[in-house]
Chain A
Amino acid sequence: MLLCVEVAFPSTSAQDDKGKSMLWEEMLDSLDAVSPLIDDVRPGLAFLDMHGMANDANAWMAQTRAVLDHFGCALRLGVGFNKIAARAVAHVADGTICESGAESKLLAPLPLTLLDVDPATIERLRLLGIERLGELARLPHGPFVRRFGAASAGWHELARGIDRRPFIPRGHAVAIEASIFGEGRAADEVQVFFALRMLLARICSDLDCCGKRAGALHLAVELEDADTCSFDVPLATPTAQERTMFDMLRAKLEGARFVAPIVGLRLQALQLEEGGEDQALLSADDFDPQRVAVTIARLEAVLGEGVARATTRDAHLLEERFTYEPFMCRRTRGMPPSLNSQVRASNELVPQLRLHKVREVSVQLRGGEPAAVDRQAVRQCVGPWRIAERYTEKPVEGRDEYDVVLEDGTFARIYRQGSRWYLRGVYE
């Protein structure tokens, strides 16, 4: 027997997806008291496996209501022998039970939306005059499947009360963390690293027991002056290796300065994943993501700024044609996918513009074209190219860009904005 739990979230929380999913997770945790096996279909819909549970269906539903009462959400409950029957009975009347063999009769007057089919398909069926599950069930199976594809075989069976969808129990969240408090204070980094090693040993032992790997670590450092410093340490690839985690944490802490002695540490393993780690068989030309991640953490600690990866985008202004994002190391075999489209057809060199700090320059014109820039005669000049950003909130004056070669061999990009001239960059 399956117990269907359908929850209507209050309108305030429905607007906030994150808040809704957090509330739903709390509700599922509470439902563990009713049954240990819960199939979490989506936020607001779950099925509980009640096989072998004590008491009858009415008692189960009463217990469910009692468990979820303090959340203040409207509930619809139903019990059936499969998912479609349990959901249908909850849809028809809250708190009812569908007896075995009565599924098709129960489903016949119900709308197609109960099948969780996309709206376009429901519209197609409606145009064919099929609006109820009973009408769908009466269609000949073969022609219907040939017309609507392989997935429609499942809809046809569901409409007749046959549900072959598997029951997938939800995994239980595992919290892996370790902390150390009230054992004196640390004013020396060696003491902190020693304590971190202890915590990591516990964390890695727990990860091994659960057969999991951590994709990130969260370290909270409590100081004597009641202040707390937090560090999020992403790991390049999920791991359960103490050494790798320690290297990352140490690199991250290298640039940290604490204003008071440390009195407590709390370390938490996040982004837990199942299974082992990918290892390169022949890694001569491949890089180790963990080593890269440790180096990046060290660079960030030394420089105080993040190591970045550049991405290009379409824009009119030169300085808006690229953005930087944090460098995340991903293991790639051979040529990365995005490289395939970028590889040059030949080994051709391309002029490289360097964006120097924009400065005003004096330009003399002859026939409307630059003839001298900062008293250097212009040997060759091409342009102008008019660049105007018309659709910005703040209107920006358009500019005319020129490429010029000066007498001393400097090859530069200059532009005129209004009556003034500026040097944008130099081809070096």
Chain B
Amino acid sequence: MAAALAAVSQQEDTRKSEFELLKARLSATGQNPVLPLEGVVATTIPELDSLLGGGLPNGVVATLEGATGRWSLAAGLVAGMTRRSLVAILDDGTLYPPALADAGVCLERVLVVPARTALAIVRAVDLLLRSRICRLVLMPALALRDAVWARLAKLAHRSGVLLIVVAERAGASLSAAAGVRLHCVLERIFVRGTHGLWGSFAGFELCIDVRKHKRMSPGRTAHVRVGNAALR
């Protein structure tokens, strides 16, 4: 009798633990597999493509946020895009083209638009979106009024151009206008060899978090490895 009771109790425990597991899986809605979306531009970064259901939607404002890794992600997107079309990068004077070339960007197909002030950047982006000569326009973040971001978002939507804004932290106006928001968090750094003179950084791992997506639920994450070669 005692053995039978023990067996029933064990069966009950197993059922409970399985039920808890199922509850945990269902509650984590952000991690459900995503159905492939239509009308997206593949980023050629496999982890990001699977995270976003095939790529970034056409004609949206997308933000890449975070302290470290956002420009690495942007360079990956530019590299994929320059295989097909022209890309414009608004340069505030901090662009380092050799790193872009290392990321596989075809520099021949990148228009480097020098723009230092907010007004110049907005006017240049406006012109580029209207002309539709580039499939992707990459710009640094600016403090702009809601109406300006809304206009740029509308222009991007009408022209079918992907406008990527790279920002350490997106403001309220930009967050509202953005169709996709990705946030990068530095998880760990890989060092080759020992530290000091005999070592070199071999790259780092990023955790990418979807903070906003106009066509799917947010909260999904992916881990991406950045860099393989020594950073010299």
Contact = CB atoms under 8 A, between A and B. Distances in A.
Interface of A: 285, 287-288, 291-292, 294-296, 298-299, 302-303, 305-312, 318, 321-322, 324, 327, 335-336, 338-339, 342-344, 347-357, 369, 380-385, 403, 405, 408-411, 425, 427-428
B110 A303 contact: no
A355 B72 contact: no
B96 A312 contact: no
B218 interface: no
B103 A336 contact: no
Given A296-B111, A303-B120, 13 more contacts: A292-B133, A298-B131, A299-B127, A306-B114, A307-B112, A310-B95, A312-B101, A342-B106, A348-B104, A350-B72, A350-B99, A351-B227, A353-B96
Contacts of A369: 195-196
Interface string B122-141: 01100110010100000000
Interface in B183-209: 186, 189, 191, 195-197, 199-201, 203-204
B228 interface: yes
Contacts of B195: 369, 380-382
B232 to A, nearest CB: 7
Interface stretch (B2-10, B52-60, B78-86): B78-86
B106 A354 contact: no
B149 interface: no
B74 A352 contact: yes
A405 B189 contact: yes
Interface stretch (B11-19, B63-71, B152-160, B171-179): B63-71
Interface string B88-119: 00000111111111111111111111110000
Contact of A312 (B76, B79, B107, B168): B107
B142 interface: no
A322 to B, nearest CB: 4
A303 B112 CA distance: 12
A421 B187 CA distance: 28
Nearest to B70: A428
Given A302-B127, A308-B114, A427 B228 contact: no
Given A292-B86, A303-B113, A382 B200 contact: yes
A311 B107 contact: yes
B45 interface: yes
23 contacts: A287-B85, A299-B113, A306-B114, A312-B97, A312-B101, A312-B107, A321-B98, A322-B97, A338-B106, A342-B101, A349-B45, A350-B227, A351-B69, A352-B71, A352-B74, A352-B100, A355-B96, A381-B195, A409-B186, A427-B71, A427-B231, A428-B69, A428-B70
B182 interface: no
Nearest to A289: B133
A303 to B, nearest CB: 6
A425 B85 CA distance: 29
Contacts of B97: 310-312, 322
B226 A350 contact: yes
B231 A351 contact: yes
Contacts of B204: 351, 411
Nearest to B132: A291
B165 interface: no
Nearest to A356: B94
A335 B109 CA distance: 10
Contact of A336 (B46, B68, B108, B191): B108
A382 B112 contact: no
Contacts of B231: 351, 353, 403, 427
Contact of A349 (B82, B108, B227): B227
Given A295-B128, A369-B196, A403-B201, A353 B114 contact: no
Contacts of B164: none
Nearest to A401: B232
A385 B197 CA distance: 8
A294 B82 CA distance: 20
Contacts of A344: 79, 103-104
B44 A347 contact: yes
B211 interface: no
A310 B67 contact: no
Contacts of A324: 112
Nearest to A305: B114
B75 interface: yes
A382 B196 contact: yes
B51 interface: no
A382 B84 contact: no
B225 interface: yes
A425 B156 CA distance: 31
Contacts of A299: 113, 124, 127-128
Contacts of A354: 71, 94-96
A176 B159 CA distance: 38
Given A295-B127, A369-B196, A350 B102 contact: yes
A383 B192 CA distance: 12
